A and B are shown apart, each in its own frame.
Chain A
Amino acid sequence: GAVVSQHPSWVICKSGTSVKIECRSLDFQATTMFWYRQFPKQSLMLMATSNEGSKATYEQGVEKDKFLINHASLTLSTLTVTSAHPEDSSFYICSARSQDRGDTGELFFGEGSRLTVL
């Protein structure tokens, strides 16, 4: 199957600092990438849809100025959590849909990034 790599897997930062999480499709081109957040014992929640070369579409309630998404190429999307606070501590997961494989709807997920804000 297709591979999506997410980095870093774990990150601990101080309150008020910014953290960047990268999501790369390693063996396919991804025109669309999705960013999710999962709090403990809760389901995945879609934060935003990232389209290559255009602005991300954010879900209701997600602050676009706080969660900056950049999808500059067909293989890379980044999520930057700006001025992080303890309530931003969560598991962040990216997924990608392949342009090359037709629209089967199958999503390929990164390994996830666990953010802890002190």
Chain B
Amino acid sequence: GQNIDQPTEMTATEGAIVQINCTYQTSGFNGLFWYQQHAGEAPTFLSYNVLDGLEEKGRFSSFLSRSKGYSYLLLKELQMKDSASYLCATMDSNYQLIWGAGTKLIIKP
């Protein structure tokens, strides 16, 4: 079967660092995506990992371990505008995205 797990909700402080984990089990693997979604808006692309390791892009970094079926999104120097849901999604062998339920990140001053 196909399954993606990520925490439902996390809370962090402005200026701090937070790591959002995602574990997955999918049939076929063509990469893992992280998307950010603010309430009432469409998701926006953050990162794409298909090889093991860390991809850094400004304040955001994403890590993938294919052997462990594990990824994380790391957000540094948190800002209030980072309050959003963060969606983990894998792409299967048919290039379809399989979405996790999302992690709601709450940033406190």
Query: What is A's interface to B at a CB cutoff of 8 Å?
Result: 1, 6, 34, 42-46, 49, 91, 93, 103-112, 114
Contacts and interface: CB of A to CB of B under 8 A. Distances in A.
Given A43-B102, A44-B87, A106 B96 contact: no
A106 B41 contact: no
- Tell me the interface secondary structure of chain B in the complex: loop
A103 to B, nearest CB: 8
Contacts of A42: 101
Given A44-B87, A110-B42, A105 B99 contact: no
Contacts of A46: 96-97
A112 B41 contact: yes
B103 to A, nearest CB: 11
Interface string B67-109: 0000000000000000000010001000111011110000000
Nearest to B96: A46
Interface of B: 30-31, 33, 40-45, 48, 50, 87, 91, 95-97, 99-102
A42 B85 CA distance: 11
A43 B99 contact: yes
- Tell me the interface secondary structure of chain A in the complex: loop
Contacts of B87: 43-44
Nearest to B98: A46
Contacts of A44: 43, 87, 99
Contacts of B101: 42-43
Given A105-B31, A105-B95, A112 B48 contact: no
A105 B100 CA distance: 17
